[in-house]
Structures are given as C-alpha cells and as structure tokens.
Structure 1
Amino acid sequence: MDTFFDEWPFISQVALVLFLLALSGLFSMAETSMLSSNRHRLRAMAHGGNAGAALAERLLKRMDSLLSVLLISNNLINTILPILVTGIALHIFGDSGLVLSIATLVVALLIIIFSEITPKVIGAAFPEKIASNVGWFILPLTYVLKPLLWFINSFVSRLMKVSGLQASTDNGVMSKEELRSLVLESNRFVSTHHRNILLNLFNLENILVDDVMTPRSKIEVLDLSRPIDEVIEQLETCYHNKLPVCDGDSERIVGILSVKKTLSLLGNAELLHEDFRSLLNEPYFIPSGTPVLQQMQFFQDNQQRLSLVVNEYGEVLGLVTFEDIVEELIGEFTTSFSNLSNDPHWLADGTYLASGTASLRDLNRLLKLDLPLDGPRTLNGLILEKLEAIPDYDVSIRIAGVVMEIVQFDEHGVKTVKLYQPLSQPNQD
C-alpha cells in the first residue's frame, strides 16, 4: 500500500489526506447532529414536507445501525490517515525516528481539530438542520455495509445480553415531567398565555370538582313553593342560563330549570307552578372529590353542562359547570372578579384587598402566591383553620409568607382581608 501511494504525485497525496480529513469530519458532524437532534422537531419538519428530516427520523429508529455505519466509517478513515501522513513525511524528510514522531503528532492534531472537535461543535450547534441533510449519504452506506453491520450488531446484542443489559425501546418518548419542562422552557416560541393553558392542562389531573365548583352559599336556587309572582320576578331578573329548583326544602334540589325555556311562558297572564315543573330536567349529582378530567368526560358523554356536587350524606356542597372547567384552563371569561378586588393585581403600595370567600387557587394564580391548597379552599377557611376560631377583633396573621390583616368579620367568619405582598416578590403595577 505504501509503495502504491508513494508512486502518486505529491499534490495528489496531499489532496487525498485533505479529502479524508474532511470526510472524517463529515462523519463526526453527522454523528453529533443525529444524536443531538430533537426527534419531535424532526418529526414536525417531516410533517411539513422536509424529506431529509423524514429520512433522518427513519435512520434514528435504527440507532444501532446508524452508529455502526458512522463509527466504522470514521474509525476506518482515522486509521488510514496516519499511514498516509507518515508516508508523505518519510518521502520528504527521510526515514528517521524524529520524523515518525513529528508525523504522528501532526496527524493527531489534524484529526482532533479538523475531524473531531470542529465538526462536532458545528453538529451540536445546528443538529436538526445538519441531520436533515447528511442522511442522504448515510443511507447508501447502510446498504453497502449491511453484511458487516449485521455481524457487528449481532455480536453487540449478544454481548449486551450476556452482560444483562437491555437496549431502551422507548424511542424517545417523553415523560409527563419532561414535557412539562419543555413547555416551561418554550417562552421563545410560545406566548405566556398559551404556555399557561398548556401548564393548566397538566394540572387538571390533580384538580377536583371541589376546587372549581361554586359553593352552596353562592348558588341561586328557584323555590317553587313561593308565590307565583315571586317566581316570575326571579326568572325575569335572573342572569343565569340554568337554575337549580327546590320545592320548599332548600336543601333538596328537585330539578334543573332552563331559563331560556321559560321565556315563552313569561308573557302568559295565568301561569301556574306546574307550568314550570313541567320544564324541569333531572338534576345530575356527583360525589365530592371527583377529578375534573372525569367530570369533563361526563359532560361530553352525556351532553350536560351542569352538575351538583354532594357529600357522602347527599348534602349539596356546590355546583360545577362545563364553563368552570374551561375557565380553569384558559382563565376567567370576564374581567370582573366577584370574590376578589376589582383589579386582580397588587396595588402600588404592595397590598391587596380580598374577600374572605376568595378562592385560594385564584389568589395563587393571580397574585403569584403559594398558599396551601391541601386543606380549605377559600381565604376565610384558611384563616379560620389557622386561628382555630372566628376572630372577635382585628388581627394580623402570616400564612405561607403572606401577612394577612383581617379588616372585616362577623359571627360567621372573615369577610374582608388585606394581603401584604411578600418582600421576595417584585412589585406589580
């Protein structure tokens, strides 16, 4: 081989060495770009019509064959290069130990700089772009080297089996926490609003209907035992689409009335209670502690939009609608916050005036707090749990790093609370 190479013109010998260095660098760049590329991004590029990305995704499905082709080709070139460079050095400077040492050092530096470090840095910097282009010359090599690949991969598989190792078969499938981290780091590509929706979607599986329901004390109920004039007046001034209906006993809901269906009756002069009873739909009761995702599936399967939440004794605790669940995902539909201050942000002086009935989840989301959610669901409930009594005087308390000053209270509980922004939080306008 040396004799044959020595017969080449000097320019041809140098050109061959440079070509092999570049080819080795190309294999190193291909290896790094393939291993560093994001498979989900490659899949998106492939779906967008990028044939090179589709080919790269196909090659990555057989990681053993891909690595074998790249490593065999690269190592074969890196084995030949020292021989060629040494031959050139001996031809120019003669046969001596010093020449061999210098030639070995030179070829090592050339391989490290031009065939390893530089191309791998480039491959890591532009993984998907390079991976979607290098597959076209890797694919033919997989067919040319197929017999050798079969032998090597069979040997490696047996060796791993003997060693008790098992190759991963998840094909890059991401876990829920990995996907959550990806969403959190996607601020350059996804708007804050859309990112929050995605994060809320992850949280839905940990949310119960109790977290999103309207509590019993805030439910408007139509009592059909009242005089017909009062019933009609309530329907005319009602701003809800559906009303739970009782018949004397406010704790026993007998049906759900669609307010829209009653509009055609309200013009009649002689209306009776029975006219409204005939329009009642059967109420749907769900147990407290039902996961929100399960309830959303129930709404979809049964074409329902409202359910009543009951405890183990059958007592109504609250009401949950399909809109309540959607709002948990995308936020409030309106800008009015009946249970919070008009402006859902810290004031310039770092305070916030909140209703005692304010939801802890809403306060955490709107004010960037970390109030505990594993117990009471309202600010009043959290304070009463901490104090273990209904306060009979103005008092301040610190919970989860938030100073709370009780401004207004009565014999039933805390009505109004002034919150003070934690010092670690930046002031919001």
Structure 2
Amino acid sequence: MDAISTSALLIVLLVLILFSAYFSGSETAMMTLNRYRLRHLASNGHKGAIRALKLLERPDRLIGLILIGNNLVNILASAIATIIGMRLWGDLGVAIATGVLTLVVLVFAEVTPKTIAALNPERIAFPSSILLRWLLILLAPFVKGVNLITSGFLRLMGIKTVNSSDALSQEELRTVVHEAGALIPQRHQEMLLSILDLEKVTVEDIMVPRSDIYGINVNDEFKVINRQVIQSPHTRVLVYRDTVDDAVGFIHLRDALRLQSKEQFSKSSLLRAVKELYFVPEGTPLNVQLANFQQNKERIGLVVDEYGDIQGLVTLEDILEEIVGDFTTSMLTTPSEDIKVQQDGSYLVDASITIRDLNKEMKWNFPTDGPKTLNGLILEYLEEIPSANTSLRLAGYPLEIIDVAENMIKTVRIIPLHYHPPRA
C-alpha cells in the first residue's frame, strides 16, 4: 500500500467506518422490528415491510450476513488504521491507531447507529433491506457455508438449533394488552382480558344455583302458573314437576303469552310448548361452553354433576356478561344489590353471593379455588354451621355473621381491610 497516499487511506477508512455503522444499525433495526406490525404492513402491501419480513424468515442467514459484513469492514479498517498510524508516528502509531480506532468505531459505528436504529427501527430497516437483500444473494454461498460450520460446531457441543416461534402465550398476550395504553381504550382492554380468562372460569362459577332457579311447577294450581308466566322476570323459564330434578323443559314466555292471547293456555298446552332440555357438565370452561352454545344453537342449559344431578342453570347471557359486564337482567341478583354499605363503612353482604362476583364488585381477594359462594366459604372454614353474631377473620377480612336460617348463612357483615372506625 506504499503507492496509496495517506489521504486516500483516510478516505477508505472513513468509508469502512460508515459501512460498519450501516451493518450495526441494520442488525439492531431488523431485530427490533415489531413482528406483528411488520406482518400487518406486509399484508397491506408495504414493500419495505415485505422485504424485511422475507429476510427475517431466516434470521440465522440474516445475522450471518450482517456479522460477516461487519467483521470484514472492521478488520479491514483496523489494518488500514495501523498502516496510517505507522506512517504518521512510526512503531508508536500501532498503539495510537488501535486506541483511536476503537473509540471511533465504538461511538460512530456501534453505539450511535444502534441507538438510532433502536429508536426508529422501521425508518432504518426498510431502506437497508434493499441492500441486505442483494448482499444476501451475492454472498449466499459464503453465508450458507458459515452457517453450516456454525451449526456443526453447535451440534458437537450438544446444542440443537430450533427455529424460534413468534407465537405469544396467554400471559404474554395479557401483558401486551396491559401495555397497549391509550392505543386500546380501557373498556376494550377489560373485554380482551375477560376473553383470555374464559378458559380459567367454569360454568359452576357463573351458574344460578338450583335453589335460586326461577321455574314453573306444572303441578301447582293453574292460577299460580298463570301468575308466574305474567310476572316472570325472564324470557325463558324452566318447567318441572314438583322438584327441579324432575325438569320437563324450558318454555319461552313469548310462546306462553301467545297461548294466553288465544285463550288456549292450559297445563297441557304449556307442556306441549316446552323446548327440550339441554344439559351442561359441571367443570366445563366458559370458552368451551360458549362454542357449544353456538354449535348446538342453544341459549340456556342445566348444569349437572357426574351423577346427573342438576346443580344449577347457565345461560348464554351469563357467559357474555363475563366478557362485556352486566348488560341484561340476570337470573341472579346483581352483586350491587347483594352488597349494602353501612354508615360505619362496613358492608352487609348476602351470603349467597358468589366469591367471584364479590371480588369483582369490591376489588377484594377472597379465595376462589374452593367453594363458589360466601356461605360455602365460611362453612368450609368453620367446618360447622355457626350461630348468629359469630365473628371470624377470613382471608384477612374481619367478618361477623348476622343471620343464619335453614342451615345456611344468610347475611354477613364484612369490614374492609383499610377500615377506620368512625370517631365517637
């Protein structure tokens, strides 16, 4: 290189540093791209996104290409810097050139371009993908050879190369929804998270217990049946004989009222108008049951245990309310009606309320992996039916049992954790 002037070598060195910065920035930009946004842009015909997505289909080749290019220009830059240093300062120039080049490469060819690329990945990756695509074609044999040697070396070390997946787990997707911030309205975030939770919730958690099922006993007097039809708060009502265990079917009140308007309403016409029963096994996750309702064209079903005994009733509206919140008349009173705030800051709670509804309404943390109702939770904890005025602490919350009847706890007074009694 004696024939090449020092100024020419400096220009070549500058060009090599620029190439090093290009490869460093391209690597960070390509690896920082949001893969889901990239696929969205590619599906809309964005040419830069299509090129980048094509390159990222084989990230091993892309990284190999960038590292080959980066190392090649850095090594060449080091050799030229050494020559320039020796020309200017003799043997001491080697040390000077090494120190100066290290600082220059670190600042201008590594940290700065990588920082810019990390902050603006699309602006860097999409244009650079043009040159990277052609370099990959040009250097394909060399890149494949290097990757082949690398893969063989990894196999000798007992490391298997596995293609990584961009698929998100449920918890990762939950984090994405949480971090969406203003991009997704709060209400929509809650709905998306509720959909993710459907598989964790079973029909037992939201069903109407059999003791609370509103139904028509066909063995009652006809005037009682007629009044039940007129006053029913629900559009579909269970029809049974004496007990819920002897259920006949569901009657749509539209059909019953039509019979009444035609003066053809009787017990026999009521029985003829009932729809066939639809049964749901207890323990069925809500996402599965939602699909079953859709597949079977049903909207309401009776929940049965492993012995076939009826445990409760679940409707399509109950599942939808788990996603969007209460929007219709429920078969069970809403939590807000079961919880009454007292002047001293405590709450009187109907013990038949479900633990999930209580936690959701009050932002409390009673355990949900056992009994489904507050009554059941207290009974399991005490292992006996308590008397009124019994006090206890459950899950950190002070409780006082106010009313007990028919072997069930009816009303409970709950003191919140951050309760401060009023001053006298």
TM-score scaled by length of structure 2: 0.90
Decide which of 207, 218, 222 is 1:213's aligned counterpart: 207
Partner Cα separation in structure 2 for residue 21 and residue 42 of structure 1: 29
Shift in CA distance, 316/13, structure 1 to aligned 2, threshold 3 Å: same
| Alignment-mate amino acid for residue 2 of structure 2 | T
Deviation at 1:232, TM superposition (A): 1.8
What's 2:365 paired with? 370
1:348 deviates by 9.2
Q: 1:413 aligns with which of 398, 408, 414?
A: 408
CA deviation after TM superposition for structure 1 residue 26, in Å: 1.3
Which letter maps to 2:355? L
Partner residue, 2:297: 303
Q: 1: CA distance between counterparts of 2:340 and 2:402?
A: 19
Which of 335, 358, 380 does residue 385 from structure 1 map onto?
380
Q: 343-352 vs 393-402, which deviates more? A: 343-352
Give 1:240's match in structure 2, choosing from 234, 243, 262.
Answer: 234
Superposition deviation, residue 73 in structure 1:
0.8
Task: Note if contact 2:218-2:240 (Cα within 8 Å) is conserved in structure 1.
Answer: yes
Shift of 1:123: 2.2
Distance in 1 between the 2:311 and 2:132 partners? 65
- Pairing 1:315–2:309 present: yes
Distance 2:148 2:83 in 1: 37
SS of the aligned residue for 1:417 comes to strand
Give the 5 Å matches for 1:120-139.
Answer: 120-139=114-133
Cα distance in structure 1, aligned partners of 2:343 and 2:179:
30
Q: Which shifted more, 406-415 or 105-114?
A: 406-415
Equivalent position SS for 1:243: strand
Distance 2:210 2:203 in 1: 13
* Counterpart for residue 86 of structure 1: 82
Residue in structure 1 matched with residue 47 of structure 2 by the alignment: 51
Matched residue, 2:19? 23
C-alpha distance in 2 between matches for 1:75 and 1:44:
33
Match of 1:60 in 2: 56
Per-residue displacement from partner, 1:369-414 (whole Å, max 9, x unpaired)? 2211121101111112222223223133222222223233334322
Distance in 1 between residues matched to 2:285 and 2:98, nearest whole Å? 69
**CA-based RMSD:** 2.5
Write out aligned runs for 1:12-411 (5 A). Answer: 12-91=8-87, 93-94=88-89, 96-269=90-263, 271-334=265-328, 338-342=333-337, 350-411=345-406
SS at match of 2:336: coil
Aligned residue pairs: how many? 418
Matched residue, 1:427: none
Counterpart residue identity of residue 309, structure 2 = E
Deviations 1:142-187 (A, max 9, x none): 0111121122122222222333222122332223332233233333
Q: 1:130 to 1:351 in 2, by over 3 A?
A: farther
Q: 1:343 to 1:220 in 2, by over 3 A?
A: closer
Moved more, 126-135 or 276-285: 126-135
* Contact in 1 for aligned 2:339/2:350 (Cα 8 Å): no
What secondary structure does 1:3 align onto? Answer: coil
1:349 CA drift (Å)? 6.3
Per the TM alignment, residue 79 of structure 1 is displaced from its structure 2 partner at its CA by: 1.1
What secondary structure, in the 3-state scheme, does the structure 2 residue paired with 1:156 have?
A: helix
Q: Deviations over 1:39-67 (max 9, x none)?
A: 12322232344321222121111112101
Q: What residue number does 2:2 align with? A: 3
Q: Deviations over 1:275-307 (max 9, x none)?
A: 111111111122222222222222111100111
1:8-29 per-residue CA deviation (whole Å, 9 max, x = no partner) reads 7x2x443332222122111101
Whether contact under 8 Å (1:41, 1:128) holds in the other structure is no
CA contact (8 A) 1:356 1:380 kept: yes
Distance 1:373 1:343, change over 3 A: closer
Runs of 5+ unmatched residues, structure 1: 425-429
Cα contact 2:388–2:403 (8 A) shared by 1: no
What is the rounded CA distance, in whole Å, between the counterparts of 2:388 and 2:106 in structure 1?
77
Which moves more between the two structures, 377-386 or 366-375? Answer: 366-375
Aligned residue for 1:278, secondary structure, equals helix
User: Post-superposition shift, 1:342?
Assistant: 4.3
- The answer to whether the Cα contact below 8 Å between 1:345 and 1:367 also exists between their aligned partners in 2 is no
More deviation, 190-199/352-361: 190-199
| Greater mean alpha carbon deviation, residues 59-68 or residues 389-398 | 389-398
Partner secondary structure for residue 265 of structure 1: helix
